[in-house]
Amino acid sequence: MGLWMRIFARSEAVIDPVLLAEKVAQWLPGTTCHFGADGAGWFHLEIRPPSGGPIQLDRYHCEEEGIRRDLNTWAAWVETCDYCPDAPNLMERVIQSRQFFTVMRSLDTPDESGVDRLCEGLCQYLSTELDGIWQADGQGLKGADGTLLLQEY
């Protein structure tokens, strides 16, 4: 079991894997990155911190089978958050996603603060570069800069 984060990106741009690996090493020195790729570019990144379990980052195009259904499910969740006046706009942002990323962080990590910093940095970086917003389990939806946009209850 782990902590999940999701990035809803409106841009179709591809992040340079070398630059992403450099950023990861800045956020948590001693961390290594191992990418999986196909003809369409990279789709998986396993991040290995100096200690503890790995962090899995998966990249999906919204045309892939089942991904649009997942996005619609997240949009429906946002729609139910009628306590947030910006919920309709946030729901629209989720629906407009062209790429969807998931981050799964292992709870088997001794350096909690370093891994938290890495995961948040990853979400903020991808959201900034790809015109996105991101969600963290138990927290809610956040803007690219980490500002809480929708509290999760």
119 inside domain: yes
- The verdict on residue 147 lying in a domain is no
- Using alpha carbons, list the distances in angstroms from residue 29 to 4, 51, 71, 111, 148: 22, 11, 33, 12, 27
Instruction: Tell whether 117 is covered by a domain.
Output: yes
- Provide mean pLDDT across the span 126-149: 97
Given a contact cutoff of 8 angstroms between Cβ atoms, the answer to whether 71 and 8 are in contact is yes
Please check the confidence at residue 107 and state whether its pLDDT lies above 80.
no
| Averaged pLDDT score across all residues of the chain | 92
Average pLDDT over residues 23-29: 94
Quick: pLDDT tens for 29-73: 999 999 998 877 779 999 999 888 899 999 999 988 889 999 999
In the predicted model, what is the mean pLDDT of residues 64-91?
94
Q: Is the pLDDT of residue 19 over 60?
A: yes
- Please give the average per-residue pLDDT across 79-91, as a whole number: 96
Question: Residue 126, exposed/middle/buried by CB under 10 A (0-12, 13-18, 19+)?
Answer: buried
Residue 152 lies in a domain: no
pLDDT category at 2 given cuts 50, 70, 90 is low
Residue 133 has pLDDT above 90, yes or no: yes
Q: Is residue 150 part of a domain?
A: no
Dihedral angle computed from the Cα positions of residues 69, 153, 90 and 79, in that order, rounded to the nearest 10 degrees: 60
Residue 114's pLDDT band, with cuts at 50, 70 and 90, is confident
Residue 153 in any domain: the answer is no
Tell whether 111 is covered by a domain: yes
Reduced DSSP (H G I as helix, E B as strand, rest coil) percent helix, strand, coil of the chain, to 5: 35, 35, 35
Provide the domain limits for residue 118: 2-10+20-138
In the prediction, which pLDDT does 1 show? 42
At 57 the three-state DSSP class reads: strand
Question: How many domains would you assign to the chain?
Answer: 1
Token couple for 153: 């209850």
Confidence (pLDDT) at 37: 85
Percent of the chain clearing pLDDT 70 (strictly above): 96
Q: What pLDDT was estimated at residue 39?
A: 76
In a domain, 146, yes or no: no
pTM: 0.92
